[in-house]
Amino acid sequence: MSFLDRLFGTKEEAVQQPDIRFGRYSDSYKGTSNYDAWDEALEKFEAEQYVDCYKAFFNYLRDEEEDNVRWWGEENGIKFEIYQGSKKISGFADKNSLRAMAKIAQTEQLNVGFLRRLLEKNFSMNFGRFALGDDNELLVVFDTYSLDGSPYKLYFALKEMAIQADKFDDLLLDEFDMLKPVEVSHLIPISDEMKEVKYQFIQSKIKDVLQEIKEGPLDSSKYPGGIGYLLLDMIYRLDYLIKPEGCMMEALDRMKRLFFA
């Protein structure tokens, strides 16, 4: 860069920014084509053109930038894949029914502990269910007849499946050693350097908040609500900046539920 360029700022140096994403993915912001696909799905469902309804529905879900939904035609129906975090939902739909499935873990021997956890979890599911596959795979399954499989039902059912599969696999793998991860070839591992940076930030943030509570000017006996907001601020910062998974995510969610209980 010449002296005049530096003096008058006629050129800007391109600074390469690290590819770091904060927060969790949301499908709240969609383009016009997505909403057009949703309207088409509703029209096709009312006209009982169920295969075309499914095609339009998956076009509504698809994010071109993320490539999170894929579908292709098969004889008399379509196959589809939906990616949510570490999990993949795959399934088949035709004019009669739709069936979706996500593998969360696999085991060589059955254990009363995790089978009971899955059975108990089924009582909180509104659409899908946890099940056991032919090869001792732990699954999340959803199926419906096309006749009552409206786009509204499909959206909330697949959303429930995706969230539970992505969340519950980490918890089970951490708790039960006999379980092994499955279908993780699409994952991009985090570097050791990034893990260390996140770990140090977590430690620093927790230490700063605890020190503020202990030594800060805020009197905890007079203003307990202020202490609660300090902790809540820490929880949201860690969740947004670190984007934890598994046990830490569950711990943060539990603390948020306790605050608002």
Whole-angstrom distance, CA of residue 253 vs CA of residue 92: 33
The predicted model scores a pTM of 0.78
Question: Letter for the amino acid at 132?
Answer: L
Report the pLDDT value the prediction gives residue 35, as an integer from 0 to 100. 93
**Cβ 56 vs Cβ 46: under 8 Å:** no
Per-residue pLDDT of the chain (261 residues; tens, 9 = 90+): 555 565 555 555 566 666 666 667 667 778 899 999 999 999 999 999 999 999 999 999 998 888 889 999 988 899 999 988 778 899 999 999 999 999 988 888 888 888 888 888 899 899 999 998 888 888 999 999 999 999 999 999 999 998 888 888 888 888 888 888 877 666 677 788 888 888 899 999 999 999 988 888 888 788 888 888 999 999 999 988 888 887 888 888 889 888 887
Report all structural domains of the chain as residue ranges with CATH numbers, in order of start: 32-180 (3.30.1460.10), 192-260 (no CATH)
151, with CB counted inside 10 A (0-12, 13-18, 19+), is: buried
